[in-house]
Amino acid sequence: MPKRFDQARPFLTLGLVVAAWFFVPTVVKTFTRASFFELTAPVGVAVSYARDLQEYWSLRLRSNDELVQAGRDVARLIASYDIAVQQNVEMQGEIARLEGLLRLPSYTGYRSEHARVVRRDFSGWWQRLTIRKGKNFDLAVGSPVVFSGGVVGRVSEVFAYTATVDLISSQTVRLAAVVEGDIRPISYQGGLNPTFGSAGGIIEFVPLDIFASANSTKRLVTSGLGGVFPPGLTIGSVIKVEPSNDGLFKSGEVKLDDRLAALIEVTVLIPLSPN
Amino acid sequence: MLRLLFIFLSTFLLWALTAQLNHALAPWRLYVFVGALAVTLPALTFSLRAGLLASFLGGLVFDATAPIPFGTHALLFALVHAVVFNFRDRVPRDDTLSRVIIALFANLGLFLVFSFTQVARSPAPASLWPRLFADLACSQVLLALIAPWFLAVQARALALVDHEQKRYA
């Protein structure tokens, strides 16, 4: 065999592999991917349960005094939430009456499904979470995911007993937002994830009369447009806006909640109506 | 076949360990990638076909959990395998230090090529590079630290099923 051909043999073989891979049907690739994912899933889930057990035993070491104090705090919280629930029921009734009077379309209802975080995968390329619930809890692709500080992201893939969530700081997430108190929609996209710093995103199409700076931030919330996220959920704080190149709008930066990087539990909002 | 299985299992172990490390590093916004370690030993010691298959299968493990077209890691791993295989007869490859250096260069190449495929999706590509370089630095340091252990694990596992133990030592 000529020496030149012998040297090129690895690359010829590689070329054949690449060509063969491009001709593999999508359904086979999808099946293989799901199989490989399910092969890797038990590792993360097992570690997640071990972490929970570790936390449980560390909590068992707390003194009775601490537990009594924590119980008292929780009782106070429950009392204040009870009042909030009553007010909420009254407000929902008011909204329903107004929708009936004005013949407005009603808001989509959501079912909350709490899920533990199995794995955080925060690279410069993407930002994702794996959560410990999937098809076994009827999670659906595209469902919004929230926590006490606002939006976490949206469900991008659902597997047998896990699901992956694209974090709001990921460049793959783009949604319509509004500055609190304003109704004009703004485009938000994640993608700023500096090392040791706070995650952030970019906003575009900001109206010219909106001003914000690091000292005078504005709260950015979901607009409700697009139908995925309910309106009014916190996305982050607008820390910078400046005129864009076209001069018609401004663009700027948003700082996201630092707690996003250390989440251990999230809530998936599953639309009650399949549409 | 058993050699392929052992290489696949060791790649799986590598993926699982780095996944847990990345989970712990997430609050600091650091990320490590040491995928080239899965390719180094097969590329230096296996035949072309068996090594390519081992690298490709290892890449599929990394692909399964990544939001990219399925097969991206696998094809990049196969590319690195082909490059390393091509020059393996011209470099010292029997001692651990040489293998670690080859793994470092392979990881550098993999990381940069992969970054170029992903950076276009960012709304602010210029601000992404400092983060990527920090991740790359951490990845290279980690790789240099764990490579001797990982290559030894692979070599010991392969020596169990292969009579030519010198090849991996």
Q: Does A136 have pLDDT greater than 60? A: yes
The type of residue at A184 is R
Q: What is the pLDDT of residue A231?
A: 87
Q: Does A115 have pLDDT greater than 80? A: yes
Q: Does A271 have pLDDT greater than 90? A: no
Q: Mutation test of the interface with chain A: which of B13, B70, B111, choosing the one with the most A Cβ atoms within 10 A?
A: B70
| Tokens matching residue B101 | 């250096």
What SS3 class is residue B145? helix
Mean pLDDT, chain A, integer:
89
A267, A148 Cβ separation under 8 angstroms? no
Find chain A residues with C-beta within 8 A of B85's C-beta. 10
A130 touches chain B (CB under 8 A): yes
A124 touches chain B (CB under 8 A): yes
How close is the nearest chain A Cα to the Cα of B32, in Å?
A: 8
Query: Mean of the pLDDT values across residues A34-61?
Result: 91
Residues above pLDDT 70, as percent of chain A: 96
Q: Which chain B residue lies closest to A171 (C-alpha atoms)? A: B122
Q: What is the pLDDT of residue B152?
A: 93
Q: Does A137 have pLDDT greater than 70? A: yes
Q: Which chain A residue lies closest to B127 (C-alpha atoms)? A: A192
Of A37, A201, A261, the CB nearest to B64: A37
Question: Taking CB atoms and an 8 Å limit, are B19 and A43 in contact across chains?
Answer: yes
Q: Does A241 have pLDDT greater than 70? A: yes
Phi-psi region of A27 (alpha: psi -120 to 50; beta: other; left: phi over 0): alpha
The residues near A104 (Cβ < 8 Å, ≥ 6 apart) are A98
Q: Are strands A234-243 and A250-255 parallel, antiparallel or unpaired?
A: antiparallel
Convert the pLDDT of each residue in A6-17 to its tens digit: 778 888 888 998
How close is the nearest chain B Cα to the Cα of A70, in Å?
A: 26
Q: How far, in Å, CA of B12 to CA of B153, rounded?
A: 13
Q: How far is CA B158 from CA A160, A259, B1, B3, B169, in A?
A: 34, 44, 11, 6, 10
Q: What is the pTM of this model?
A: 0.87
The residues near A175 (Cβ < 8 Å, ≥ 6 apart) are A188, A222, A226, A228, A229, A235
Q: How far, in Å, CA of B140 to CA of B55, rounded?
A: 20
Q: What is the pLDDT of residue B168?
A: 58
Q: What is the pLDDT of residue B40?
A: 93
Convert the pLDDT of each residue in A146-185 to its tens digit: 998 899 999 999 998 999 999 999 988 889 999 988 889 9
**Tens-digit pLDDT profile for chain B (169 aa)?**
788 889 999 999 999 999 999 999 999 999 999 999 999 999 998 888 888 999 999 999 999 989 889 999 999 999 999 999 988 888 888 888 999 999 999 999 999 999 998 888 777 788 889 999 999 999 999 999 999 999 999 999 888 887 655 555 5
Q: What is the pLDDT of residue B15?
A: 94
Question: Taking CB atoms and an 8 Å limit, are A29 and B114 in contact across chains?
Answer: no
Of A11, A37, A261, the CB nearest to B29: A261
Question: Taking CB atoms and an 8 Å limit, are B22 and A122 in contact across chains?
Answer: yes
Find chain B residues with C-beta within 8 A of A202's C-beta. 123-124
Radius of gyration of chain B (CA): 16
Q: What is the pLDDT of residue A3?
A: 62
Q: What is the pLDDT of residue A4?
A: 63
| Tokens matching residue A120 | 């955080």
Instruction: Name the one residue in this structure whose structure tokens are 């299968």.
Output: B57
What SS3 class is residue A176? strand
Find chain A residues with C-beta within 8 A of B19's C-beta. 43-44, 119, 121
Q: Does A200 have pLDDT greater than 60? A: yes
How close is the nearest chain A Cα to the Cα of B37, in Å?
A: 19
A137, A122 Cβ separation under 8 angstroms? no
Find chain B residues with C-beta within 8 A of A123's C-beta. 22, 31, 33, 135
A49 touches chain B (CB under 8 A): no
How close is the nearest chain B Cα to the Cα of A224, in Å?
A: 23
Q: Mutation test of the interface with chain B: which of A6, A7, A11, A17, choosing the one with the most B Cβ atoms within 10 A?
A: A17
Find chain A residues with C-beta within 8 A of B123's C-beta. 171, 189, 191, 201-202
A199 touches chain B (CB under 8 A): yes
- A&B contacts, CB < 8 Å: 133
The type of residue at A28 is V
Q: Are strands A150-158 and A186-192 parallel, antiparallel or unpaired?
A: unpaired
End-to-end CA distance of chain B: 20
Q: What is the pLDDT of residue A274?
A: 58
